[in-house]
Amino acid sequence: MILLYIFLFWILSLILLLTWKLALFKKTWKEPYFSDIPVLIESDDWGPGGDFHATRLDKLLTTLSQHLDSTNRKAILTADIVLAVPDTEKIQHNSNGSYSRISLEHFPEIYASMLSGVKQGTFVPQLHGMEHLNGNAFAQLCKQKDSRTEQARATQNWWDWETLESPLQGHYVNGGTLPTTPISNVEAIQIIDSASQLFTQLFKYPTQSTVAPCYLWNDEIETAWNNQNIQTIQTAGYRCTGRDNTGKYIQNPSLIRVGERNKNDQIYLVRNVMFEPVDGKNTTETAYQESIAAYKQAQPITISTHRYNYTRDEEQCDDSLTGLNNLIDKITKLPNIRFLSSPELGEIIRSPEQVIINHFNNTQWKSVNTLTGHKKLSAFLYRLYFRNPKLVLASYITGFIIPLPG
């Protein structure tokens, strides 16, 4: 009789759980699952810079080249490219307050390092933006001699935009005052069209994917990207449409999963491993634990590691390289690891059976195996477990999850 009561309790609990979370179960089940786990290394902000940036990039790519996946492919840096920086000298002499830029090809050392990495297969470029700031807004602040542009105006040669206050670094918003305001649709189209053309000119193939500076973009930006055939959008698991009057990011939507699609049928990707050691909070060990969590869920392992980890002082660069080397070494000890770039992952989510193509150096690699049907059940349950603490608690209470020693 007691066993009957327990059985009836489980049936009732199951019905209640299905009623409560059926939509979640269906949505999670329809997500892409991988048998060969893609590993992506995403690094924002590479672009114009001092000659030493080229040396640092070479060291980073050499580190990556020492790691091979299950098909003997080298680790790849998906480098999110800033195509230009402000020409501060010209801006200050423009009587009409217009913006002027210096583009990547005028920095031959770093540009040559990028092209060398493309040829060797360790560097795949991806559009970040024409700049990592709003050019027209920046020019107006310079004209007004705004104190936030003082360092830029005092620099005669190349100036590093990373020294700007964070709200001013948004590309598709005007952060001169808070709350930020989105740029006009006309300006967005002009910026993205020009950036797409310059990207193709520099790297001999169109950008297929992008990530917005500061994760700030909206529906109109996505449509402008789509008009340039950009079909894959890298995210941090959310989209920010602006910053409020305190500078806090406004998330909309606040949650994005790998493989979700927007109204233009563009595919979202998600960074789920943070390795930003210069910030002092993302260590090799924490990044590895995040990697293991993604691996158990049959998700891509997508590592975020910004340029500044490798372009600050020499000691910080060496520490970052050592940490990244150790992280990738640990990841490659896991079975069935595949190194991919972001545009490649977007393509295989759309067409799972196709071979992997690096369009920037015309190399091909065998297709990535996915999980379907009952084979993805374990990973499906792990996704529910990692993502939904209330569901986990309910499962413990009802006995659907039975904790075991060890």
- Whether 16 maps to a domain, the answer reads no
At 405 the pLDDT is: 42
- Report how many domains make up the chain: 1
- Whether 102 maps to a domain, the answer reads yes
- Whether 20 maps to a domain, the answer reads no
- Whether 59 maps to a domain, the answer reads yes
Q: CA-to-CA distance for 76 and 301, rounded, in angstroms?
A: 13
Which parts of 181-286 are beta strand (E)? 181-182, 209-210, 232-235, 240-243, 249-251, 267-270, 273-274
The boundaries of the domain holding residue 50 are 33-389
Contact 312/278 with Cβ under 8 angstroms?
yes
Could you give the 3-state DSSP secondary structure of residue 349? helix
At 16 the pLDDT is: 63
Low-confidence ranges of the chain (pLDDT < 70): 1, 3-18, 20-21, 156-157, 390-406
At 14 the pLDDT is: 60
Instruction: Supply the CATH number for residue 337's domain.
Output: 3.20.20.370
- Whether 10 maps to a domain, the answer reads no
pLDDT digits 0-9 by tens, 129-161: 999 999 999 999 999 999 999 999 888 667 788
At 215 the pLDDT is: 97
- Whether 320 maps to a domain, the answer reads yes
At 161 the pLDDT is: 87
At 134 the pLDDT is: 96
- Whether 92 maps to a domain, the answer reads yes
